[in-house]
């Protein structure tokens, strides 16, 4: 039974086009510098970078709106300074309350 299978295998390998296709496939999948694994990793990186790009675009829009608010109103600027940098007026005391999660 085994010799029949081996004979059929060697007969198909003797086909030069099939042999060339198999060698080319093995070369492109495993041995080439830009093989399938490398391309798959790069596609995953591109997907991750697109997600990060969308996040940063949203962040830029939000920050630019916030900057516009701060530049147009002195009340908003004062509120921002008080909240972010704990600035205070004379004769004021600030108590920072930290909530435990």
Per DSSP, the three-state class of 26 is helix
Assigned token pair, 78: 């004062």
Res 2: pLDDT: 66
Q: Where in the chain are the domains?
A: 1-32, 36-101
Q: Can you give the pLDDT of all 101 residues of the chain as single tens digits?
A: 567 777 777 777 777 888 888 888 888 888 888 888 888 999 999 999 999 999 999 999 999 999 998 899 888 888 888 888 878 888 888 787 888 88
Q: Which pLDDT belongs to residue 7? A: 76
Q: Are 29 and 36 in contact (CB under 8 A)?
A: yes
């Amino acid at each position: 039974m085994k010799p029949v299978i081996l004979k059929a295998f060697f007969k198909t390998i003797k086909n030069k086009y099939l042999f060339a296709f198999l060698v080319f496939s093995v070369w492109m999948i495993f041995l080439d510098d830009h093989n399938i694994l490398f391309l798959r990793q790069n596609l995953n990186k591109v997907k991750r970078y697109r997600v990060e790009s969308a996040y940063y675009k949203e962040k830029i829009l939000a920050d630019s709106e916030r900057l516009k608010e701060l530049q147009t109103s002195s009340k908003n600027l004062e509120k921002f300074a008080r909240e972010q940098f704990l600035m205070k007026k004379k004769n004021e005391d600030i108590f920072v309350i930290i909530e435990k999660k």
